[in-house]
Amino acid sequence: MPARRFFKTSRALLILILSVAFPLKTMSICLHGTGVSVAAFGTNALGQMVQGKAHPGATVGVLIRVNMNDDCPGDNTLVTNVTDVVDAQCVSFTTSNLLSEPLLLSFFGQSHSVSNTPEGFAYKYIVPDCGSNTFIYHETKAFSLDSNSTTHLGGPLFAGGSLRLQILRSKLDISERRYSTVGQDEMQWEAGLTNTGDTTLTNVSVRYFTTGTNHLVWGPGELAAGQGTIIRSAPSIYDCAEDPGMLIAQGTDELFFQVSSTNQTAMLPSQLSVQYHRQPEANSDILLRWPARFSCFSLEKTATLTAMDWLPVQASQVLTNGEVIVALPATNQAGFFRLIRR
């Protein structure tokens, strides 16, 4: 037999032998397992549930669902324990078993919600105020047994799920009005408006209130977390006889809750002057002066700008030659002064 024909015949025989020895058959594979899904819901100002967000002090509902992931024919899964571990930084706790009795899952894809409240939640808790924490972390655990199985009878099955709940701290700050001179007689105030919370505020506005009237001085607008702006008034002649008024800032957070800030303090940093006055054969004095048309402002003092502990100056105010004068004894202690109207 020629060599080439022998080679072809031998190769065909080898393929036939291999085909008989290793038949082309797909193996049957199944998997055992249990799954857990978890979600947390807060409530917005409209009474609607909002997933994954809440304010400190709000009640949160936790939804837990156990899933049958065993696709082996005839297998059942008996879930005996479901717990949730909650870490809020300042407060941590683990729930007791959230199942009142063992739960039997009998077919692949079956799911069951753990319900212990009228709303269908596994449990509820109140969000603690831990100061600066931004999230609360959940780790849900389920323990079950593989029942009615030919390959894994009584075998333990573990499942876990996790989530983080965002804590919203909505805060809006409006500072005191600081007056400065514009031209010869007119004054203009400015104030700082800052979103000091950790969520965007919308519909932010500032209104200036006096007796019997108010008007819009800024907005409506939007401020991102940490964002601020400066508000300025139109120049006008200051009159101590008029109502000092107040600023009220308002805004809405993403859960539709309204936040506000009020400040009725007015400061006059540009009008206060200090003079060292020494009288013959008498104690030295420190004279503090400001224009008489601002006599409605009071003098305050603090020893340090770090503590910002301002206290009224206990001294007589003398009105003379168009000025208000306060005389204080000279000491070796540092001091800071300001003019303020509340």
Query: What CATH number should be reported for the domain holding residue 132?
Result: 2.60.40.1470
Per-residue pLDDT tens for 46-90? 999 999 999 999 999 999 999 999 888 888 899 999 999 999 888
- Does 185 have pLDDT greater than 80? no
Percent of the chain having pLDDT more than 90? 47
Whether residue 327 is contained in a domain is answered as yes
What integer pLDDT is reported at residue 163 of this predicted model? 93
Domain that holds residue 238: 172-267
The residue among 167, 200, 217 that closes a domain is: 167
Interatomic CA distance for residues 228 and 108, integer angstroms? 55
Q: Mapping DSSP to helix (H, G, I), strand (E, B) and coil, where does residue 33 land?
A: coil
- pLDDT score at 29: 81
Evaluate if residue 282 carries a pLDDT over 80.
no
Band of pLDDT at residue 152, cut at 50, 70 and 90: low
Answer whether residue 283 shows pLDDT above 60: no
β-strand 53-54 against 103-105: which pairing, if any?
unpaired
Terminal-to-terminal C-alpha distance of the chain: 119
Residues 101 and 41 in one domain: yes
CB 66 within 8 A of CB 103: yes
282 and 252 both lie in a single domain? no
Least confident of 12-16, 197-201, 273-277: 12-16
Indicate the number of domains in the chain.
Answer: 3
User: Has residue 5 been placed in a domain?
Assistant: no
Same domain for 159 and 41: yes
- Give pLDDT, residue 6: 41
Weakest-pLDDT range from 3-7, 153-157, 277-281: 3-7
Say which range, 148-152, 226-230, 312-316, has the weakest mean pLDDT.
148-152
pLDDT of residue 256: 94
User: Closest by alpha carbon to 138, among 72, 45, 39, 34?
Assistant: 39
Dihedral sign, CA of 297, 301, 304, 307?
Answer: negative
Q: Which of 198-212, 245-259, 263-277, 308-322 has the lowest mean pLDDT?
A: 263-277
Residue 195 exposed, middle or buried by CB count within 10 Å (0-12, 13-18, 19+)? buried
Per DSSP bridges, beta strands 298-302 and 336-341 are antiparallel
Q: What is the DSSP letter of 119?
A: T
Give the domain-ending residue among 267, 295, 323: 267
What pTM was computed for the model?
Answer: 0.73
Burial class from Cβ neighbours inside 10 Å (0-12, 13-18, 19+) for residue 301 reads: middle
